[in-house]
């Protein structure tokens, strides 16, 4: 008598989300593989095989964009995880005004990247900027942070660190809270110093947070665009160009096929770095 | 609190003030200065306070463009966040409650949504085909597409904590799936919903890259794009530029003050294994 009842969790619930996601995310992603092999003006696409990719790896400034992307991502990710952990340890040790300090470190995460970029442009001005004036007080002749080709990329990475370290700290604070105090007590009874406790207890046990911080900041670093665009626009020359800014420049210049090839390269780069990393992190976790 | 903890706190506060608070004070002071004084770039107390003059001038610039930008950004943020909440919760609900082969596929897509960089030019091509390029609703849908993965992930793990007995009880009382979801489940998701509203609003309001690509044109300016355009226009009027930065910084500051707890919850959610 009871006919097969319909599930109370119908699949059409997924439909609205799926329509938007498929049309505006999946379709363009798959289409990008085709368009990256064409000369394309948004209306007509002529198949030209691997030419765009050839050009990407032949033009020195495009190659530099690729190298810069890697430097930038590794640098910001490493510095955010190291400083984030140290700050998190400091901000969970019961110091004076701990709550306020946490807020201060975290707030830049929420602020407009463009606003921060413009502010640091002024602060890093070679002659009038606050940073170099302060350095001059202690007798240091400050460099042209954002207009020296050898330094621009690193200065932008520093601004990114300044803005993003609060998120890493926050994730580490949550990770530290999950470590049972018993471990520290046992270590103390065994006579471990504070430094030993940090290396032997904190670092291994905060691993899940480390994995998250490194993965998130690597993905963010590889895709990073707005902070660079707001401060140097890839310049001077192409010295601080990264893949995302190269893609935008090619798009602006009307080289849609080439821009899309850049997009596919960025996608591949992220996949090549993130997938093995995730696999490696998960494998290590089983060993522990 | 030991003396050591107190002293460390004092030192840390001093260092944090120099490193993290100075830039914000700098924005504030610059925004209050006269055009001439701001051009010196100094970190100094304004000799004359030009708050109102600067504020009105920024708002009136380019035929009240800033007001239009605030309006557009608000519409995009509210529209996109509403859809992200409802669509995301619906997917998270089915994903958590119904175990089947499809779940792996959906899960894979969610992860892809978090990792894969959007293919911008092909997206413009799709938007053009649909007549959505350079439109506000096109921009809303883009933000929904890009933000869905995070919403689904958060909702899915939270719905796991809601007992199935509740759905069962409602079903026995004759509720349709639609009623069960909107009347029983969705209200119970309030904590995550608040977190998501706050986190996604900030992300969308601060977004620069996507409007730059998908929403060019004078009538469609958003707050971040206006700021970026003023960067070249106000090249000699740094007081106005910084007043603009100040205005863009105030909304996140207010949200931060009132929703600190939810922001922390949202930002660490994906983080520590849950």
Q: Do A97 and B13 touch (CB under 8 A)?
A: yes
> What is the 3-state secondary structure of chain B?
CCHHHHHHHHHHHHHHHHHHHHHHHHHHHHHHCCHHHHCCCCCCCCCCCCHHHHHHHHHHHHHHHHHHHHHHHHHHHHHHHHHHHHHHHHHHHHHHHCCCHHHHHHHHHHHHHHHCCCCHHHHHHHHHHHCCCCCHHHHHHHHHHHHHHHHHHHHHHHHCCCCHHHHHHHHHCCCCHHHHHHHHHHHHCHHHHHHHHHHHHHHHHHCCHHHHHHCCCHHHCCHHHHHHHHHHHCCCCHHHHHHHHHHHHHHHHHHHHHHHHHHHHHHHHCCCCC
CB atoms within 10 A of CB B161: 9
Structure tokens at B202: 């900030």
Give the integer Cα–Cα distance in Å for A118 and A125: 11
B249 shares contact with chain A (CB less than 8 Å): yes
* pLDDT value of residue B274: 32
pLDDT bin (cut points 50, 70, 90) of residue B272 is: very low
| pLDDT higher than 70, residue A185 | yes
Q: Please give the pLDDT value at position A284.
A: 63
Average pLDDT over residues B240-252: 92
Provide mean pLDDT across the span B139-145.
Answer: 96
Q: pLDDT tens for residues A203-256?
A: 999 998 999 899 999 999 999 999 999 999 988 988 999 999 999 999 999 899
Query: How high is the pLDDT of residue A43?
Result: 82
Delineate the domains of chain A, giving CATH numbers in brackets: 72-287 (1.10.3720.10)
Q: What is the pLDDT of residues B178-228, one digit of tens each?
A: 999 999 999 999 989 998 999 899 999 999 999 999 999 888 899 999 998
ipTM score assigned to the predicted complex:
0.90
CATH number for B68-269 (one of 3.40.50.300, 1.10.3720.10, 1.10.1040.10, 1.20.1250.20): it is 1.10.3720.10
Evaluate if residue B42 carries a pLDDT over 70: yes
Q: What is the pLDDT of residue A1?
A: 40
Collapse the DSSP code of A47 into the 3-class scheme (helix H, G, I; strand E, B; otherwise coil) and give the result. strand
**A128 in contact with B at a CB cutoff of 8 Å?**
yes
Whether A272 and chain B come into contact, CB under 8 Å, resolves to: no
Q: Please, which pLDDT band fits residue A5 given cuts at 50, 70 and 90?
A: low
**B238 in contact with A at a CB cutoff of 8 Å?**
yes
Nearest CB neighbour to A95, from listed B8, B142, B181: B8
Q: How far is CA B175 from the centre of its chain?
A: 35
Q: Domain boundaries in chain B?
A: 68-269
Q: Which residues pair with A38 in a beta bridge?
A: A47
Residue A247 with chain B: CB contacts under 8 Å: 120
Least confident residue range of B78-82, B91-95, B270-274: B270-274
A21, A28, A162 ranked by CB distance to B113: nearest: A21
Residue A188 in contact with partner chain B when CB distance is under 8 A: no
Of A93 and B87, more confident = B87
Cα atoms found within 13 Å of the Cα of residue B104, Cβ hemisphere only: 2
Mean pLDDT of A269-284: 87
pLDDT at B271 over 80: no
Q: Which residue of B has its CA nearest to A102?
A: B16
Instruction: Compare all CA atoms of chain B with the CA of A266 and give the residue at the minimum distance.
Output: B117
In which band, very low, low, confident or very high, does the pLDDT at A111 lie, cut at 50, 70 and 90? very high
């Amino acid at each position: 008598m009871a006919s097969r009842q319909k599930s109370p969790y119908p699949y059409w619930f997924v439909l609205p989300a799926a329509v938007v996601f498929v049309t505006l995310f999946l379709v363009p992603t798959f289409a990008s593989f085709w368009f990256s092999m064409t000369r394309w003006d948004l209306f007509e696409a002529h198949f030209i095989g691997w030419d765009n990719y050839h050009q990407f790896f032949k033009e020195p400034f495009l190659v530099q964009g690729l190298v810069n992307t890697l430097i930038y991502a590794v640098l910001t990710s490493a510095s955010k995880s190291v400083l984030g952990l140290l700050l998190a340890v400091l901000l969970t040790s019961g110091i004076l005004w701990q709550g306020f300090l946490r807020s201060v470190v975290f707030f830049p995460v929420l602020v407009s990247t463009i606003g921060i970029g413009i502010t640091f442009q002024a602060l890093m001005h070679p002659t009038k900027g606050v940073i170099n004036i302060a350095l001059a007080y202690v007798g240091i002749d400050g460099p042209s942070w954002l207009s020296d080709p050898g330094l621009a990329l690193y200065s932008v990475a520093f601004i990114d660190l300044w803005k993003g370290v609060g998120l890493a700290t926050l994730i580490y604070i949550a990770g530290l809270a999950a470590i049972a105090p018993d471990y520290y007590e046992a270590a103390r009874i065994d006579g471990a110093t504070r430094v030993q406790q940090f290396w032997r207890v904190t670092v291994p046990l905060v691993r899940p947070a480390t994995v998250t911080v490194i993965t998130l900041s690597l993905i963010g670093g590889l895709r990073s665009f707005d902070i660079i665009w707001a401060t140097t626009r890839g310049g001077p020359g192409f010295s601080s160009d990264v893949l995302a800014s190269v893609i935008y420049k090619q798009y602006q210049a009307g080289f849609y096929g080439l821009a899309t090839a850049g997009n596919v390269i960025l996608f591949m780069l992220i996949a090549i770095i993130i997938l093995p990393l995730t696999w490696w992190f998960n494998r290590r976790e089983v060993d522990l | 609190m030991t003396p050591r903890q107190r002293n460390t706190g004092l030192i840390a506060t001093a260092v944090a003030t120099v490193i993290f608070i100075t830039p914000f004070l700098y924005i504030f002071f610059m925004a209050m200065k006269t055009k001439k004084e701001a051009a010196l770039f100094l970190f100094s107390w304004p000799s004359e306070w030009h708050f109102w003059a600067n504020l009105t001038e920024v708002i009136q610039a380019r035929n009240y463009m800033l007001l239009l930008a605030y309006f557009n950004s608000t519409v995009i943020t509210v529209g996109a966040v509403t859809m992200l909440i409802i669509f995301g919760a619906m997917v998270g609900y089915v994903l958590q409650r119904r175990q089947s082969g499809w779940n792996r596929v959906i899960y894979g897509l969610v992860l892809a949504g978090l990792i894969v960089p959007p293919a911008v030019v092909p997206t413009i091509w799709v938007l053009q085909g649909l007549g959505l390029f350079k439109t506000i609703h096109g921009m809303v849908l883009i933000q929904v597409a890009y933000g869905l993965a995070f919403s689904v992930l958060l909702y899915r793990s939270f719905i796991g904590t809601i007992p199935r007995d509740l759905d069962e009880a409602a079903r026995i009382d004759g509720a349709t799936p639609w009623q069960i979801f909107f009347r029983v489940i969705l209200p119970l998701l309030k904590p995550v919903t608040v977190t998501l509203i706050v986190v996604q609003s900030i992300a969308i309001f601060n977004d620069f890259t996507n409007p730059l690509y998908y929403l060019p044109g004078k009538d469609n300016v958003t707050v971040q794009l206006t700021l970026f355009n003023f960067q070249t226009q106000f090249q000699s009027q740094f007081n106005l530029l910084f007043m603009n930065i100040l205005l863009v910084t105030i909304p996140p500051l207010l949200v931060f003050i009132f929703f600190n707890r939810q922001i922390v919850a949202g930002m660490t959610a994906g983080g520590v294994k849950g």
